Structure formats: structure tokens, C-alpha cells
Copies of this chain bind each other. A is one copy, B any other.
Amino acid sequence: MIIKMKSAATRADVEYVVARVHSLGLKSHVSEDGGQVLIGILGSFDDATPSAFTGLRGVERVLPTKRAYRLASREYRPEPTEIRLGDVVIGGDQVVIMSGPCSVESRDLLIEAAILAQKAGATVLRGGAFKPRTSPYSFQGMAEDGLKILAEARDITGMPVITEVMSSETVPLVSEYADILQIGTRNMQNFHLLFAAGRQPKPVLLKRGMMSTIEELLLSAEYIMSQGNTNVILCERGIRTFETATRNTLDLNAIPVLKELSHLPVVVDPSHATGRRSLVPAMARAAIASGADGLLIEMHQNPEQALSDGDQSVTPDQLSNLVEECRRVSVAIGRTL
């Protein structure tokens, strides 16, 4: 249950409601959303409980939470959220291609990759400065040096930059350099990181945990949004199943499901999902046909020499073809690219 206070509600009004919550043996969680206070209620209540609050001063509405998330839901905001970064709009008519190498390996390689990706049709540059690696002995990324190179690439190409943030401590640092903060699949339920991302101003691309349900993805988006940052982009990147022919199983069913449940933009990462270069174009086209607002595609000038994830990176030429194919599918379903 969530109590939505009026914009005009005073602090005393809020405190009165909270006291009442406690007097009923319930817990409260107060958050703010665009100047309006929301009071989440926790504990065992029944259908009659809302009536204990509907008449109180300052209370606008008592929302029975059929869904555990509110701010991320379609009911809360029926029209789609559009996120603007200069000329790029994520969640609008245009399908957005975000591309670049898995990790920033050197200044020259990255700058060259950025120019090639842009030429191939990308409008957002991706690249990892901090790398989550399953093994402690794997390459862990260039950290702040990598962020600076990404910023330089943005200056040269004009493309906004998306890069991963892996811990709440580094959120301020990454937020300073990046245009979009990416939260990776292994951190989807790192709640401290979610809260920290919710308290800085840049949009956040939240990847679905490879082991997480669609509802949990929306609940994690809610963590970010509950702190005031409502510019969240959801990303499907493959789930773990019994099938081993592909690295993960890209769950495109999630796209129309998320579009029904939420107003947030949804993008797809076929590179990490399939783990195989040869499958990326087919899944990229399918993602757009299913309604995705954009794609994250790993590209590398020389995939065989990449320090990480070379098997799944396409070459600049392959990216160019892929974008062309995706453009035709976009037009076929009434969108642009």
C-alpha cells in the first residue's frame, strides 16, 4: 500500500500519517517523487486498512499496491517516458543504436572505434572503463583513465557516452564523465548501488539480472526512481536457462511484457545474450521487431585481439550492415532509425 500525499501537504501532515501507520503496528517508508511525498506501508494489513488513511489531512490518494512497484508502472504514468540526450531521444519513435567496444583498451583504439561506430550508424557510444569479471585474474578495466578517454571521444564525435558503474563509491566519478550510467546484470540487485544511482542526475540504463524476473527488474528500477531519478532505461540482455547453444537465452518476450507493465524505454543487448557474433544480426532485427527502443551492440575493429568478449563483437562493417537491416525493419513497423 502506498499513500500519495498532496503537493501542498506539510511536514506535519506527513508525520501525522506516519505516526498512524506505526500505531497500527505497520512500518513506513517515506520517499519523494517530484515534490510529492509517497509513504510506503509495510506489514500485515487487510482490505480495510486504506480507510484508516483516506480522510487524513494532506492525503491525496491511498494506492492499494497490486503491483509491488509504483513509479515504474504504466498505471502510474500511462504515456511513454522519453529520455533526451542532445539530439538523441531514447523511448521515442527513433530506434537508437549504442555501440562501441566491450572495454576501453587504449585511447587510440577507442577514438578510432567511436568514429567507426558513428559512421556505421550508432548515435550513442558505449565502452567499459570498469569491468565486472567472473575471475579475479581477468582484466579489470582502465578505471578513471578509461572514463577520460570516453569523454574525449564524446568531444570528438558529439556522441553521448554510456559506461558501466560497478559500486556506489564510484557513482560520483562515473556520473561526472558519463551521459548514461549503466548498471550491469550482476548488480541489478546491488541495492546500495541502485540507491546511489538514484541520487545523481544522469539517466541510468539498468540491465536485467541474468537470473532475475521481469518483476524484479521493475522493482530494481523502482529503487532508483524512489530516490528521485526517473530517467531509467531497462535493458534485456539474456537470461540463464538450461540451453547451452547460446551463452544466455535472449528473452525477447520481455519486450512486449515490459511495454505493457511500464512506461520506461526498453533496449536490448544481443551481443552479451548470445555470446556469438554470427547470431547478433538476427537477434538485433528481432529485438526491433518485438518493439525495443534501441540496441547495445559490441563492436571492435579487430575482435580477435579484444581483451574481453571478442567472440561476440561485430566488426565495423558488420555493424554497418546490421544497422542497415535494422533500419528496414524499423521502417516496416512504423519507426525510424
Binding site for B on A (CB under 8 A): 2, 27, 29, 31, 40-43, 68-69, 132-140, 166-169, 186-187, 189-195, 209-216, 219, 222-223, 226, 239-246, 249-257, 260, 273-274, 278-279, 282-283, 285-291, 307, 325, 328-329, 331-333
Contacts of A240 in B (CB 8 A): 211, 242
Contacts of A307 in B (CB 8 A): 27, 42-43
The answer to whether A31 touches B136 (Cβ under 8 A) is yes
Shortest Cβ distance from A129 into chain B, in angstroms? 14
Instruction: List 5 additional contacts besides A2-B137, A136-B223; criterion CB under 8 Å.
Output: A68-B135, A166-B192, A241-B251, A243-B251, A256-B283
A-B contact pairs, 19 of them (CB 8 A): A2-B137, A42-B137, A134-B189, A135-B219, A169-B192, A186-B191, A209-B211, A215-B245, A239-B249, A240-B242, A241-B241, A249-B251, A252-B252, A253-B273, A285-B289, A285-B290, A289-B290, A289-B329, A328-B332
Instruction: Look across to chain B and name the residue whose beta carbon is closest to the beta carbon of A281.
Output: B256
Given known contacts A42-B138, A249-B251, is B279 in contact with A256 (CB within 8 Å)? yes
Contacts of A40 in B (CB 8 A): 136-137
Contacts of A31 in B (CB 8 A): 136
Shortest Cβ distance from A250 into chain B, in angstroms? 5
Instruction: Look across to chain B and name the residue whose beta carbon is closest to the beta carbon of A245.
Output: B214
The answer to whether A253 touches B250 (Cβ under 8 A) is yes
Shortest Cβ distance from A116 into chain B, in angstroms? 23
Contacts of A219 in B (CB 8 A): 134-136
Instruction: Look across to chain B and name the residue whose beta carbon is closest to the beta carbon of A189.
Output: B186
Contacts of A329 in B (CB 8 A): 289, 329, 332-333
Given known contacts A27-B139, A42-B139, A333-B285, is B191 in contact with A133 (CB within 8 Å)? yes
Contacts of A332 in B (CB 8 A): 325, 328-329, 331-332
Number of copies: 4
Shortest Cβ distance from A174 into chain B, in angstroms? 13
User: How far is B282's CA from A293's CA once the two chains are assembled, in angstroms?
Assistant: 13
The answer to whether A242 touches B242 (Cβ under 8 A) is yes
Instruction: Look across to chain B and name the residue whose beta carbon is closest to the beta carbon of A243.
Output: B213
What 10 pairs between A and B have smallest CB-CB spacing? A211-B211, A40-B137, A289-B289, A286-B290, A186-B189, A332-B332, A256-B282, A167-B192, A328-B332, A285-B289
User: How far is B241's CA from A50's CA once the two chains are assembled, in angstroms?
Assistant: 36
Instruction: Look across to chain B and name the residue whose beta carbon is closest to the beta carbon of A221.
Output: B136
